[in-house]
Structure 1
Amino acid sequence: MFEITEMQKIGVGLAGFGVGFLLLGVLLLFDKGLLAIGNILFIAGLACVIGLERTFRFFFQKHKFKGSVAFFGGIVVVLWGWPFTGMIIETYGFVLLFSGFFPAAINFLRRVPVLGTFLNLPIIGGLVDKLAGDSNRTMV
């Protein structure tokens, strides 16, 4: 097991609030202020969890350049006053940046008692398999 520092705990809270503000901003018809606060809190939380240097290295790796440009470009477009267009661009960048994490996250969610049963239903399971990239998944 590994130790979680106080800064990492704060970072998880900041990232959680960031995601909450982003969801609230989308639910309230793409409110520019809530989306901007959510973006700032999410990035600050990520920096607190993994550290400033690793955050910088994560976003500015050569193979993640396209995703980083789309993600930060979407944030800029949201701040300029085009929240719907900015969120589409930002979502595209987020998918490009974090697509390597999706299979691990989906496999974890499949082990959650009620949610796992839902994700393993025939129709939904096929869609989740495509999202996770598992074409020949085996049940345990």
Structure 2
Amino acid sequence: MIEITDTQKIGVGLAGFGMTFLFLGVLLLFDKGLLAIGNILFISGLACVIGLQRTFFFFFQRHKIKASIAFFGGITVVLLGWPMVGMIAEMYGFLLLFRGFLPAAVNFLRMVPVLGSLLNLPIIRGIVDRIAGDNGRNMDGAS
């Protein structure tokens, strides 16, 4: 079993609150205050979970520099007062940054009872398969 430190537990909470504030900010017609708080909480939660040095190296690897510029540029644009444009840039950067992690996350969400049923609806399944890659459809081990 992996030992989780108190800092990592706090980081998971911060990242969760960050995602909640981001969701509420988008839901409330791109409220820039909620989006800004969500961005700050998500980044600080990520830093607490994996550590400051690993967070810095994650964002500033040579092959991820375009994605990092889009992500942090989007945060800056949100803070400057153009939340819709900033969130589009952030989403683009987020998808590029976490491209390798998305198939595992989608496969996990497909195993959750209610979400799995929603993700397997015909229209949604096609979109999710494109995001996650077609290789992640079957988790049951049958080939």
The answer to whether TM tops 0.5 is yes
1:49-87: CA deviation from partner (whole Å, max 9, x where unpaired)? 000000000000111000000000001111111111111
Name the CA shift for 1:51/1:127 in 2 (closer, same or farther; >3 Å). same
Matching residue of 1:124: 124
Matching residue of 2:86: 86
Matching residue of 1:13: 13
- Structure 2 segments unaligned to the other structure (5+ residues): none
CA distance in 2, matches of 1:59, 1:98: 10
CA distance in 2, matches of 1:52, 1:132: 28
Matching residue of 2:77: 77
Kindly provide the amino acid, as one letter, of the partner of residue 76 in structure 1: T
1:99-124: CA deviation from partner (whole Å, max 9, x where unpaired)? 11110011111222232233334443
Kindly provide the amino acid, as one letter, of the partner of residue 108 in structure 1: F
CA distance in 1, matches of 2:4, 2:99: 25
- Structure 1 segments unaligned to the other structure (5+ residues): none
Deviation at 1:126, TM superposition (A): 3.3
Deviation at 1:24, TM superposition (A): 1.1
1:16-40: CA deviation from partner (whole Å, max 9, x where unpaired)? 1111111111112111111111100
Aligned 1:12-91 pairs, distance under 5 A: 12-91=12-91
SS at the partner of 1:110? helix
2:107·2:139 contact (CA, 8 Å) conserved in 1?
no
- Percentage of identical aligned residues: 76
SS at the partner of 1:30? coil
Deviation at 1:127, TM superposition (A): 3.0
Give the structure-1-normalised TM-score.
Answer: 0.91
CA distance in 2, matches of 1:12, 1:19: 11
Deviation at 1:139, TM superposition (A): 5.9
CA distance in 2, matches of 1:135, 1:40: 33
Kindly provide the amino acid, as one letter, of the partner of residue 29 in structure 2: L
Name the CA shift for 1:122/1:49 in 2 (closer, same or farther; >3 Å). same
Between 118-127 and 75-84, report the one with greater CA deviation.
Answer: 118-127
SS at the partner of 1:33? helix
CA distance in 1, matches of 2:122, 2:68: 35
CA distance in 1, matches of 2:136, 2:12: 33
Please report the RMSD computed on the Cα atoms of aligned residues, expressed in angstroms: 1.7
Between 130-139 and 13-22, report the one with greater CA deviation.
Answer: 130-139
